[in-house]
Amino acid sequence: MAHSNAVPTLVGQDVVSGKNISLAQYKNQTVLLVFFSAGCTTCVYNFKLIREFYKANKASHFGVIGVGLDTKSGQFRSYAELVRATTPKDEQFPLLWRLDPMHRDSFGELKNDSTVFVIGKNGEITLKREGVIKDDDWDEIWTSLQTN
């Protein structure tokens, strides 16, 4: 898949902690950027896999950022609070709401409630997956963790 050489941008605020988050903070790390909607079954499935991968590889300069696509703030906040309450602390990662007035990103229109981007250590998008993350994708993500 051909990728643009433009380095993607993202800034926003974690809805639970209130911390400002940006892709620039993850320089020299591989980042899994997950766009999702609360209640999306594909998203729930992907998040289970992502948490397992994150837990196993977080020592490998690997980051995860979730970006909610829900149209209602309350619905997204409730989901984020539920995730925080039910997920072990060492498996949590920032959850941003895309419609927050402070949120900015360069990912354009997304056609699927579950869209995952892998951003390599050089800041370029190395993978885009709409829908369920496939087994081969994990191989590619693992490989991106090993490269400098």
Is residue 1 scored above 70 in pLDDT?
A: no
- 96: in domain: yes
Q: Between 98 and 49, whose confidence is greater? A: 98
Q: Name residues whose C-beta falls within 8 Å of residue 120's C-beta, 6 or more positions apart in sequence.
A: 30, 126, 144, 147
Closest CA to 89 of 25, 148, 16: 16
Residue range 109-144, pLDDT digits in tens: 998 889 999 998 888 998 899 998 888 888 888 877
Q: Is residue 3 part of a domain?
A: no
- Domain assignment of residue 4, yes or no: no
Structure confidence at residue 113 (pLDDT): 87
Q: What is the DSSP letter of 114?
A: S
CATH number at residue 127: 3.40.30.10
Asked if residue 17 is part of any domain, the answer here is yes
- Which pLDDT score, from 0 to 100, does residue 54 have? 82
Instruction: State the average pLDDT for the chain.
Output: 87
Total domains in the chain come to 1
CA distances from 5 to 102, 120, 124 (A): 25, 12, 7
pTM of the model: 0.89
- Looking at residue 76, its pLDDT comes to 92
Q: Which domain holds residue 84?
A: 10-146
Inform me whether the pLDDT recorded for 31 exceeds 80.
yes
Indicate if the pLDDT at residue 107 is higher than 90. yes
